[in-house]
Amino acid sequence: MHADKLVLLGQLSAGIAHDIRNPLAAVNLNLQLLKRGIAPELPEHNFIELALQGVERIHKIVEVSLNFSKPTVIEVSKLNINSLIPTVLDLTASAIKSKNITVNLELDEKLLEISADAKQLQQVFVNLITNGADAIKDTGMLTIKTYNEKPTKQGEKGFAVVAISDDGCGITEEDLSKIFNPFFTRKPEGTGLGLPITHRILHQHGGVIDVESKLGLGTTFYVKLPIFIDFTQ
């Protein structure tokens, strides 16, 4: 049901995004022309600069909304999640280095392989690590832990689990029930689509995502993906 709602909302947001694009481009062009005719030392120059920043933010939301609405094609291969972590850390290096954040890795050397789209999983982990870094004010720790989880039901596969923890501000109980809703965000510069996209990718992989959080102590996201079983052997 949640996945169906995401598809419908994606289609709706795509239509709105297309309608916004052209007038937004016109606003941006006219603001740029106005800016050229005003001396930098005048207060009006700063007002136009603020308006342009607002236009850029709207443009970012429009582009993310369009990407959110596009059907995704999964190109799966057998992989070990541990092998994705170095690339993910490279992609999130700027967010981590902008603060005094220590990254603690606890990767299970016996982690079982899964069948997944490597690039899409990288996006999942980039989203979660970036969120963790954003939750840390000045200094803190991010922990990335992988481990195997045995099946709890008969006929169920086991899971390869990635737990991404931060010791940041935490999430209120009220917000925990909303964080996977499209466009919900408490960040001034956020789009509110990072976690919904993460949820959709994991759903397409047959995986799940859980979250635990305490205000003032931090948050942990648990990504669980079914292990690869070779039925040909």
> Taking 50 as the threshold, does the pLDDT of residue 233 lie above it?
no
Mean local confidence (pLDDT), 157-170: 94
Domain check: are 1 and 85 in the same one?
no
Q: How does 161-183 read in b/e, with b if 16+ C-beta sit within 10 Å?
A: bbbbbbbbbbbeeeeeeebbbbe
**Whether residue 185 sits in one domain with residue 87:** yes
- What residues contact 215, with CB distance under 8 A and at least 6 apart? 169, 170, 171, 172
Specify whether 83 is located in the same domain as 198.
yes
Looking at the fold, whether 127 and 188 belong to one and the same domain comes out as yes
DSSP of 164-226: EEE-SS---HHHHTTTTSTT----TT--S-HHHHHHHHHHHTT-EEEEEEETTTEEEEEEEEE
- Do 137 and 211 sit in the same domain of this protein? yes
Q: Given 11, 40, 69, which residue is the final one in a domain?
A: 69
Residue 83 within any structural domain of the chain: yes
Rg (CA), the chain: 21
| pLDDT at position 186 | 75
Beta strands at 114-116 and 100-106: parallel, antiparallel or unpaired = unpaired
Q: Are residues 205 and 98 in the same domain?
A: yes
* Number of domains into which the chain is organized: 2
**Domain end marker among 48, 69, 90:** 69
Residues 112 and 14 in one domain: no
Query: Please, what is the average pLDDT of the chain?
Result: 85
The answer to the question of residue 57 being in a domain is yes
Rounded Cα distance between 12 and 68, Å, is: 11
Q: At what angle do helices 2-36 and 194-204 cross, to 10 degrees?
A: 140
Q: Residue 219 pLDDT > 50, yes or no?
A: yes
Residue 58: give the domain boundaries: 1-69
Is 232 a domain residue? no
125 and 32 in a common domain: no
233 domain residue, yes or no: no
Residue 1's pLDDT is: 44
